[in-house]
C-alpha cells in the first residue's frame, strides 16, 4: 500500500472549510466566573439545607423530656453533621479525585470512571449509614413507649429498610457497570497485541474471565477519594457504638418494665 | 466571582487557539453530527483548554496538551450523549457496511468527506481518537503520547485504519 491515497484522505480532511476561531477571552472569563459561582451556590444551598435540618433536630434535643428520645435526635443530628462534612469534603474530593484534562486519554477516562465507581460503591457509607442510628434509636424508643403501635412501627422499619436496600443495590449495580468499563479499558493494549482471545488463547486466561476479556495491564494505583479516610471510619465507629448504647439501654428498660 | 490574574493563561490560550483552532473545529465534527450541539462542543473544548492551561507546565508539547484536552472533553461529551441516546459504535476491525466511490472529482470529494465524517462518528471512542489524529497527520509516537496507548499498538491501529479506509474508499484503485 502506497502512502499517496492515504494522504488524499488526510488532505481532504484537513482542507475542509473550518471557521477560524474567535478568541473572545472576555467570554471565557465570564464563563469561568459563572462556573465558580455555580459551585459556590451549590455548596451554599446544601449547607443551608443541612443547617435547617440540624436546627430542627437541635430543637428536639432541647425540648424533649425523654432522655432516650433526646439521644435519638442527637444521633440524627450527628448523622446530619456527618453528611454536611461529606458534602464539604466532596468539593475537595472532586478536585483531587478527578484527573486533569491534560492527562493522556487512557488515564483520563480510567481515573474518571474509577472516581465515579468509588463514590457509588461507598454510597452506603456516606449517604445511608449516617441516618440509620438516629432512625433506629427513635423508632426503637417509640416501640418501647407505645407497644400498641408495634405493627405500624415494624412496617415503617420495613419500608425504610427496603428503601435503603434499594438505593444501595442500585448504586452497587451502577458501580459494577463502571468496573466493567474500566476492565474493558485495561484490556485494550493487550487485546490489540494478542487479538481477540480465541479457543487456544482462552487456555491462558483465568477461568473466571469471560471471552473477550484479557489480563489487566499494570497501572498506577488510583488514590481513593478523600471522603473515605480514617477520620470517617472513626466517626462511623462512634456513631454505631452510640447507637448500640442508646438502643439497647431503652429496650432493656422496656423489658424490665 | 472575580478571577485572579489570568494574563499568562490568556496568552497561552491565544497561542494555542490560533495554532490549533481549525483542527479543534474538525475534531468536533468527528464527534458531533448535530450543528448546534457541535457549536456547543467547540465552545466546551475551548473553555476546557483555557482552564487546563493554568496547569500546563511544559512537560509535553503544546500540541499534545491541546489534543489531549480536546479529545478528553469530546469523549466525555459523546459518552454523556450515548447514555441519553444509546447509539451503537463500531470498532476498526468490525464489518463496516457499504462501500462508496473513491475521490476522483469535486462531487466525489464532497461525498467522500461526508462519508468519512459519518464513519468517524460511528467509531468507538478510542478508535475515533486515533483516526482523527491520523487524519491530522500526527505520527504514531505523538498519537501514543496523546492517547496513552503503547506505540506498537498505535501502529497496529493505524494499520487497521489504513485497511478500513482502503476498503471504504477504494483507495489504490484510482486511475
Interface predicted TM-score (ipTM) of this complex, two decimals: 0.83
Residue in B6, B17, B165 nearest the CB of A23 = B17
B63 CB burial (10 A radius; 0-12, 13-18, 19+) = middle
CB contact under 8 A, B18 and A188: no
B13/A52 Cα distance (integer angstroms): 44
Q: Is A13 on the interface with B (CB under 8 A)?
A: yes
Q: Provide the pLDDT for residue A204.
A: 33
Residue in A16, A20, A105 nearest the CB of B26 = A16
- A-chain residue closest to B104, CA distance: A8
Task: Report A:66-95 residues touching B (Cβ under 8 A).
Answer: none
CB contact under 8 A, B72 and A103: yes
For residue range A139-153, what is the model confidence (pLDDT) as tens digits?
A: 888 888 888 888 888
Identify the helix (H) or strand (E) that includes residue A189: helix A188-194
Of A106, A117, A112, A105, nearest in space to A178 by CA: A117
Residue A105 has which C-alpha cell?
486519554
B66/B76 Cα distance (integer angstroms): 15
Q: Is A203 on the interface with B (CB under 8 A)?
A: no
Evaluate if residue A42 carries a pLDDT over 90. Answer: no
- B-chain residue closest to A100, CA distance: B52
CB contact under 8 A, A12 and B165: no
Residue B11: how many CB atoms within 10 A of its CB? Answer: 12
DSSP string, B11-75: HHHHHHHHHHHHHHHHHHHHH--SHHHHHHHHHHHHHHHHHHTTS--SSS-HHHHHHHHHHHHHH
Distance of CA A174 to the CA centre of its chain: 11
> pLDDT band for position A97 (50/70/90)?
very low
CB contact under 8 A, A32 and B135: no
Residue A75 has which C-alpha cell?
444521633
Evaluate if residue A176 carries a pLDDT over 60. Answer: yes
The nearest CA of chain B is from the CA of A77 a distance in Å of 33
Residue in B3, B55, B165 nearest the CB of A33 = B3
Of A115, A74, A78, nearest in space to A227 by CA: A115
Q: Are A196 and B93 in contact (CB under 8 A)?
A: no
Least confident of A131-140, A193-202, A240-249, B162-171: A193-202
Residue in A1, A2, A193 nearest the CB of B153 = A193
Kindly state the average pLDDT of the residues B26-47.
91
Q: Is A220 on the interface with B (CB under 8 A)?
A: no
Q: Provide the pLDDT for residue A197.
A: 41
Evaluate if residue A198 carries a pLDDT over 50. Answer: no
Residues of B in contact with A5 (CB under 8 A): 165-166, 169, 171-172, 174
Query: Mean pLDDT, chain B, as a whole number?
Result: 83
Q: Provide the pLDDT for residue A164.
A: 86
Residue B85: how many CB atoms within 10 A of its CB? Answer: 8
- pTM, 2 dp: 0.71
The nearest CA of chain A is from the CA of B127 a distance in Å of 11
Query: Mean pLDDT, chain A, as a whole number?
Result: 72
B71/A234 Cα distance (integer angstroms): 41
Identify the helix (H) or strand (E) that includes residue A170: helix A150-186
The nearest CA of chain A is from the CA of B134 a distance in Å of 8
Higher pLDDT, A238 or A150: A150
Number of helical (H) and strand (E) elements in chain A, helices listed first: 9, 0
Evaluate if residue A130 carries a pLDDT over 60. Answer: yes
Q: Is B152 on the interface with A (CB under 8 A)?
A: yes
Amino acid at each position: 500500500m502506497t502512502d499517496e491515497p492515504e494522504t488524499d484522505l488526510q488532505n481532504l480532511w484537513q482542507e475542509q472549510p473550518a471557521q477560524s476561531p474567535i478568541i473572545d477571552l472576555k467570554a471565557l472569563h465570564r464563563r469561568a466566573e459563572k462556573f465558580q459561582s455555580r459551585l459556590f451556590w451549590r455548596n451554599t444551598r446544601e449547607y443551608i439545607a443541612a443547617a435547617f435540618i440540624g436546627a430542627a433536630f437541635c430543637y428536639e434535643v432541647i425540648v424533649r423530656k425523654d432522655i432516650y428520645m433526646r439521644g435519638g435526635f442527637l444521633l440524627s443530628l450527628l448523622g446530619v453533621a456527618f453528611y454536611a462534612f461529606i458534602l464539604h469534603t466532596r468539593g475537595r474530593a472532586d478536585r483531587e479525585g478527578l484527573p486533569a484534562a491534560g492527562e493522556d486519554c487512557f488515564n483520563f477516562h480510567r481515573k474518571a470512571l474509577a472516581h465515579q465507581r468509588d463514590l457509588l460503591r461507598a454510597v452506603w457509607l456516606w449517604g445511608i449509614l449516617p441516618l440509620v442510628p438516629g432512625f433506629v434509636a427513635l423508632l426503637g424508643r417509640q416501640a418501647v413507649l407505645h407497644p400498641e403501635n408495634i405493627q405500624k412501627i415494624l412496617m415503617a422499619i420495613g419500608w425504610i429498610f427496603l428503601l435503603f436496600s434499594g438505593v444501595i443495590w442500585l448504586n452497587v449495580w451502577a458501580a459494577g457497570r463502571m468496573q466493567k468499563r474500566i476492565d474493558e479499558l485495561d484490556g485494550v493494549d493487550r487485546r490489540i497485541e494478542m487479538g481477540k482471545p480465541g479457543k487456544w488463547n482462552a487456555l491462558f486466561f483465568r477461568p473466571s474471565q469471560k471471552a473477550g476479556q484479557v489480563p489487566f495491564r499494570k497501572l498506577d494505583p488510583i488514590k481513593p477519594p478523600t471522603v473515605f479516610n480514617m477520620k470517617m471510619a472513626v466517626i462511623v465507629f462512634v456513631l454505631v457504638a452510640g447507637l448500640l448504647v442508646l438502643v439497647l439501654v431503652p429496650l432493656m428498660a422496656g423489658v424490665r418494665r | 466571582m472575580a478571577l485572579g490574574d489570568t494574563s499568562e493563561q490568556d496568552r497561552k490560550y491565544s497561542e494555542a487557539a490560533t495554532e490549533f483552532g481549525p483542527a479543534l473545529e474538525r475534531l468536533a465534527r468527528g464527534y458531533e453530527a448535530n450543528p448546534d450541539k457541535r457549536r456547543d462542543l467547540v465552545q466546551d473544548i475551548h473553555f476546557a483548554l483555557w482552564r487546563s492551561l493554568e496547569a500546563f507546565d511544559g512537560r509535553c508539547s503544546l500540541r499534545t496538551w491541546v489534543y489531549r484536552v480536546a479529545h478528553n472533553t469530546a469523549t466525555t461529551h459523546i459518552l454523556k450523549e450515548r447514555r441519553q441516546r444509546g447509539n451503537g459504535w463500531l470498532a476498526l476491525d468490525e464489518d463496516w457496511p457499504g462501500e462508496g466511490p473513491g475521490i476522483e472529482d469535486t462531487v466525489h470529494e464532497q461525498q467522500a468527506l461526508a462519508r468519512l465524517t459519518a464513519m468517524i462518528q460511528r467509531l468507538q471512542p478510542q478508535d475515533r481518537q486515533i483516526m482523527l489524529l491520523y487524519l491530522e497527520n500526527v505520527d504514531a509516537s505523538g498519537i501514543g503520547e496523546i492517547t496513552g496507548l503503547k506505540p506498537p499498538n498505535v501502529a497496529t491501529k493505524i494499520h487497521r485504519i489504513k485497511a478500513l479506509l482502503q476498503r471504504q474508499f477504494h483507495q489504490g484503485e484510482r486511475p
